[in-house]
Amino acid sequence: SQTIHQWPATLVQPVGSPLSLECTVEGTSNPNLYWYRQAAGRGLQLLFYSVGIGQISSEVPQNLSASRPQDRQFILSSKKLLLSDSGFYLCAWSVRGVEKLFFGSGTQLSVL
C-alpha cells in the first residue's frame, strides 16, 4: 500500500534561518507531488506541484523553493525564513490523472 512520510511534525525556527522540509512517498511510482501551506484558521494555499523529477510549478511568488531530486521525494526549502512563513505545511501526492490527494501529517512551522 502507498504511504507518505513528512517530517518534522513541529519546527520552531528564528527569522533569517534556512528551512528544509522533506516528504517521501512509498508504494507508487511517478506520483504528482504537492506542497500546500495553511495559515491559522485559513484554507490551503497551493505552493508548488510537480509532475516529475526536476519539474516544479510554482504557484505563489514567495520566499520558498521546492525540488524533486528523486521520483518520490519532494523538498521544500528556504534560504532565509520570514515571520510570514509560519504555518502548517502539508505535502500530498496523487496518482497521475487521478485527482484524489493523499496528505502527509503536516509540519507546523513557527518562525520567531
Partner 1 sequence: RKEVEQDPGPFNVPEGATVAFNCTYSNSASQSFFWYRQDCRKEPKLLMSVYSSGNEDGRFTAQLNRASQYISLLIRDSKLSDSATYLCVVRPVGSSASKIIFGSGTRLSIRP
Query: Which SS3 state, helix, strand or coil, does residue 83 take?
Result: helix
Closer to partner 1 by CB, 5 or 79: give it. 5
* Closer CB to partner 1, 78 or 107, in the complex: 107
Integer Rg of the chain from CA: 13
- The least CB distance from residue 103 to partner 1, in Å, is 4
According to CB under 8 A, which residues from 17 to 36 bind partner 1?
Answer: 32, 34, 36
Give the interface size with partner 1 as a residue count (CB under 8 A).
24
Q: In this structure, are residues 88 and 8 in contact, taking their beta carbons and an 8 Å threshold?
A: no
Residue 8 is classified by DSSP as -
